Amino acid sequence: MFKPHPVSVGVGAPTFQDVINVARHGAPVELSPEALRAIAESRAVIDELAADATPHYGVSTGFGALATLAIPREKRMLLQRSLIRSHAAGSGDEVEREVVRALMFLRLSTLATGRTGVRVETATAYARMLSDELTPVVHEHGSLGCSGDLAPLSHCALALIGEGPVRDRDGELTTVPEPVALHEKEGLALINGTDGMLGMLVLAVHDLRNLLTTADITAAMSVEGLLGTDRVFAQDLHALRPQHGQQHSAANLRRLLADSAIVASHRGPEDTRVQDAYSLRCAPQVAGAARDTLAHAEQVARRELESAIDNPVVTPDGRIESNGNFHGAPVAYVLDFLAIAAADVASMAERRTDRFLDVARNHGLPAFLADDPGVDSGYMIAQYTQAALVSELKRLASPASVDSIPSSAMQEDHVSMGWSAARKLRRALDALAQVLAIELLTAARGIQLRAPLTPAPATAAVVAALDLQPGPDRFLAPEIAAATDFVKAGGPRRAAEAITGELA
């Protein structure tokens, strides 16, 4: 199994690949010497403020609506434990391991900036949990995305102090062997960030990039199988509308359809059709708009990776200041935007699939692509599954970020709901992968049925890699599941790129 090298966590921003390696591949982490120095320097500021007779928020006061209450020194370690215990109030199913590891890694990255005031011992213990693949149990519900992802991060902090369960690399429940006793300010530093929603955004950007290229591949296959034209993808036509994503998608389609005998077979004057349906003709416009949305989301994610989010925060000149940087609105908005884009790409893919199954629109293919129509139903119900998934995607496209609910005795009177936006985006991308898998199956079958005409070399490679076996009706669910796994793993893209070179 692929095991990446350790990821060094410094004072600068981690890369997307760093997040993927730690979250999905179990990469260990290590704090850089520069990070250890920065952590020690900011801790010295906190220690000085802790000895001050004047109360300082987060150091010697309560939290949230209780921020005006001064806490005596002998109770401050209890205050940190109480904060973590009370805020670890999530409920529902366990969150996926990769999400928990992503949010832990991103919180560690913020600790490493030296802007939070934690001790070196605490940061290194947090890093050790990641390296030892001890994953805290975090629950589905509890975060309002402001002040950051409090409940999810609190469950991780609870594990750090030895009071919360973790799962080891084999999935067995246990606790950390060396718990940490938190000092002043450390409780807040461990839980005040957008790390959960940001981690899910980074994972989603990675996954959606693959799915959008796959959508171009399935669209190209549908163009072939439905005897569509490639003339509408010409470079000069798309230059008239210089939307970057659209141009990339159209370029993909041109490369995927190059040298297609199927497409060439109906270029002559005997083809009386004036235009293809929108789901074929406008594929670059929709997938391209999704690409541009993805590019914006990636830009927001990169800025957030560069951020040091905590409240209060230790400034570079040694002040400790309250702030509102923990509000998740920038991340929440783009998470919602991506769910909208995923729903629309899926909706167009489902329409292309439906055309394959209808003898009035599939240009000579058997009804439902069945081996023996009437006796066999072919892909009839696979399209039902697609339709159900698209309907679900439309519901998931409803934005979470407009649904603020006041909390903390109206102190936190506007929240981002970014965690909720991220959770529904994960479900949306899973549904999109299934929708594209079903289009892949129907388009591949349509191409097979055009024999002896041959498809483009690139799409032929995808059909071969899919290894679709024609024949009478069979148990279809496993076939759809296998195609979905193929899509998620980047199988169509690898097969096509072996012919075309790297696609956008």
What residues act catalytically? Answer: 57
Spell out a b/e string for 293-306, using b for 16 or more CB atoms within 10 Å of the CB, else e: bbeebbebbeebbe
With b for 16 or more beta-carbon neighbours within 10 A and e for fewer, the 463-502 pattern comes to bebbebeeeeeeebeebbeebbebbbebbbbebbbebbee
**Which DSSP string do the residues of 175-192 spell out, in sequence order?**
--SS-----TTHHHHHH-
Closest CA to 196 of 362, 324, 332: 332
* Integer Cα distance of 296 and 363 in angstroms: 39
Tokens 């000092």 sit on residue: 183
> Residues 262, 267, 272, 278: is their CA dihedral positive or negative?
positive
232's enclosing H/E stretch is: none
In the DSSP assignment, the letter for residue 367 is: G
Q: In the beta sheet, which residues pair with residue 412? A: 407
How many angstroms separate the Cα of 139 from the Cα of each of 166, 200, 446, 483?
Answer: 12, 14, 44, 30
Please answer whether residues 432 and 346 qualify as being in contact, where contact means their C-beta atoms are separated by less than 8 angstroms: yes
Are residues 393 and 346 in contact, defined by beta-carbon separation less than 8 angstroms?
Answer: yes
Closest CA to 438 of 471, 465, 476: 476
3-state secondary structure of 373: strand
What DSSP string describes 15-59?
A: PHHHHHHHHHH---EEE-HHHHHHHHHHHHHHHHHHT-SS--TTT
Q: Is 176 exposed, middle or buried (0-12, 13-18, 19+ CB in 10 A)?
A: buried
CA–CA gap between residue 496 and residue 349 (Å, rounded) = 18
Counted residue by residue, the chain has a size of 504
Residue 249 near residue 289 (C-beta atoms within 8 A): no
* Residue pair 292/243 in contact by the 8 Å Cβ criterion: yes
Q: Distance between CA 146 and CA 2 in Å, rounded?
A: 36
Q: Check the CA dihedral 259-227-385-504 and report its sign.
A: positive
- Say if strands 173-174 and 7-9 run parallel, antiparallel, or are unpaired: unpaired
